[in-house]
């Protein structure tokens, strides 16, 4: 089955800790994206990657970091520098940039 998987589904973190969210796709897509959704709002772009070993900041990159060492994987690290990290995080991919995007099931992060 082709698709995008994210893990974990729920994540709890203490203040001051870094945490890494996983995103994997087996669709052979070149482009991958991370979005953040706050309650009652639309999604905002954190980071995106058009190709392996390359990534660009989105609209709200402060306090986040990413890597793209493999085509299938685009992990997101939420660092202690992110002031308000509690949110729903969604990963997406597309065949290449500027094309239709497909989304994973999301990870709900709560900072205690």
Partner 1 sequence: GIQVEQSPPDLILQEGANSTLRCNFSDSVNNLQWFHQNPWGQLINLFYIPSGTKQNGRLSATTVATERYSLLYISSSQTTDSGVYFCAMRGETSGSRLTFGEGTQLTVNP
Nearer to partner 1, 19 or 104 (CB): 104
Please report, in angstroms and rounded to a whole number, the separation of the first and last CA atoms in the chain: 36
| Shortest Å distance, C-beta 63 to partner 1 | 18
| Shortest Å distance, C-beta 42 to partner 1 | 3
Nearer to partner 1, 48 or 78 (CB): 48
Beta strands in 26-106 (DSSP E): 31-37, 43-51, 54-57, 64-66, 76-78, 87-94, 102-103
Q: Which residues bind partner 1 (CB under 8 A)?
A: 31, 33, 37, 40-45, 48, 50, 56, 58-59, 88, 90, 97-103, 105-106, 108
Nearer to partner 1, 71 or 80 (CB): 71
Buried b / exposed e over 58-74, threshold 16 CB at 10 Å, is beebeebbbebeebbeb
| Shortest Å distance, C-beta 100 to partner 1 | 4
Residue of 64, 54, 58, 31 lying closest to 46 (CA atoms)? 58
| Shortest Å distance, C-beta 16 to partner 1 | 27
């Amino acid at each position: 089955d082709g698709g995008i998987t994210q893990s974990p589904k729920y994540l709890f973190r203490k203040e001051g800790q870094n945490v890494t969210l996983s995103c994997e796709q087996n669709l052979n897509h070149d482009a991958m994206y991370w979005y953040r959704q706050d309650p009652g709002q639309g999604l905002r772009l954190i980071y995106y990657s058009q190709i392996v070993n390359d990534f660009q900041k989105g609209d709200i990159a402060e306090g986040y970091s990413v890597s793209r060492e493999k085509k299938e994987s685009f992990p997101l690290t939420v660092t202690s520098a992110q002031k308000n990290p509690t949110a729903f995080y969604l990963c997406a991919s597309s065949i290449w940039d500027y094309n239709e995007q497909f989304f994973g099931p999301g990870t709900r992060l709560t900072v205690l």
